[in-house]
Structure 1
């Protein structure tokens, strides 16, 4: 039984990449039968890994996005010959979002925050941006406070190696028992913690209250949830 929502939605992404092509023309382009393509579009069947790779190549789209619906923004395309030789680092998920062993085993949150213990990143991407994998973590955004820039269940790579606070940067903070994702604007008197949602109240933090806020890190990558 198919329980993964991203797999169920493959037919929608296939229809998107076909654009104006007819089923016949698209099938010929991918060297597949019309019946196979129609079955994919109806959700009756799903492609094998090799056929998924063929479709992605013919449509010039990301294999990852076609398979999962997750689009990696801002990451340059890497030559496929190099990808398979790259080391993969696994960065931890933010400690407050770690699943219990039972949740991780049963994928209880498959349609919400993925119940994963860590997240894979390619060595080449880390090297390009100069990030230390030991200083990174994954945070799954919740709610609509930072939309449209960051939506519900978007994945955020957080760099905990903070040298200084940069005005306008996006930061993950802890205050008492709360976790806050906010844009920090530096002022003469302290910080303004901002949201993109106009209905969210700006939080003013005077300098004498800085110690009450723990800055976990700043957002260095947004992984859009397009499922």
Structure 2
């Protein structure tokens, strides 16, 4: 089902086949898995309309089984946990290196989502940042991309400089092992004590810092000032692999 195919009339709770005594907290679990995305971004990821998701989040309606599986697949969580809270959901606080934990039988890894939009200072990139929640990824999907869970973290994008590729409120997954420019790509950088998601392009004169939004000018960090550009890692996922 595509984003445009979702129907505009969610099934009312009284018509739903789920046992209501077990799904009272569905909206809380949905809110938890949705928290890593904007409503617009999550609706695109699920293939459901924003109106449908708002109805689920408010508790006014509940999803049918096919939609439950759509949401669980998009959020990469177990449908049984999403619907009923059957599976244990781990939420350990941590940092890169402690970030990923096994889920159930080890098929899942959790990656921390940091409140790091306004990170500043000379310490570690995530110093003084709190962990908002953890994002669940299957270890298989990470392994296919050559990623190690312990070297991953996530932050939310702030501002419109990377639209339409990344929109404000979108979440990006960072591979912290990739701190050198490997051809052109989107990286999380710290420049002038602030974090940015930008496309980097190496040139003879230095490194070009590029915004996708044409309203923003390209910045070049000259070769003699490259020590001021800290590459936190490469963005490898944002509602799809980059």
Normalising by structure 2, what TM-score?
0.55
Moved over 6 A (4+): none
- For residue 88 of structure 1, the aligned residue among 108, 114, 117 is 108
Deviations 1:153-212 (A, max 9, x none): 111001010164123200001123211211011111111100011111211111111111
Gaps of 5+ in 2: 17-50, 76-102, 119-129
CA deviation vs aligned residue, 1:21-61 (integer Å, no higher than 9, x gap): xx7xx98xxxxx99738xx97948321xxx5324456xxx4
Query: Which residue of structure 2 aligns with residue 53 of structure 1?
Result: 65
* Number of the residue aligned with 2:33: none
Residue 137 of structure 1 and its aligned partner are, at CA, apart by 0.7
**Which structure features the higher share of helix residues?**
1
| Equivalent position SS for 1:149 | coil
Q: Partners in 1 of 2:13 and 2:232 — Cα distance?
A: 52
In the aligned structure 1, how far is the partner of 2:192 from the partner of 2:13? 58
Q: How does 1:9-28 map to 2 (within 5 A)?
A: 16-18=5-7
- Correspondence for 1:106: none
Q: Does 1:138 align with 2:154?
A: yes
Per-residue CA distance 1:79-121 (angstroms, 9 max, x = gap): xxxx9855322222346359xxxxxxxxxxxxxxx97243222
Counterparts of 1:1-227 in structure 2, within 5 Å, are: 16-18=5-7, 36=15, 43=55, 45-47=60-62, 52-56=64-68, 61-65=70-74, 87-94=107-114, 96-97=116-117, 116-162=132-178, 164-223=180-239
Q: 1:205/1:120 Cα in 2 relative to 1: closer, same or farther (>3 Å)?
A: same
Q: Distance in 1 between matches of 2:131 and 2:150?
A: 21
Kindly indicate whether structure 1 or structure 2 has the higher relative contact order, using CA contacts under 8 Å at least 6 residues apart. 1
CA–CA distance in structure 2, aligned partners of residues 177 and 171 of structure 1: 16
Whose Rg is larger?
A: 1
SS at match of 1:146: coil
- Give, in whole Å, the separation in 2 of the partners of 1:63 and 1:193: 36
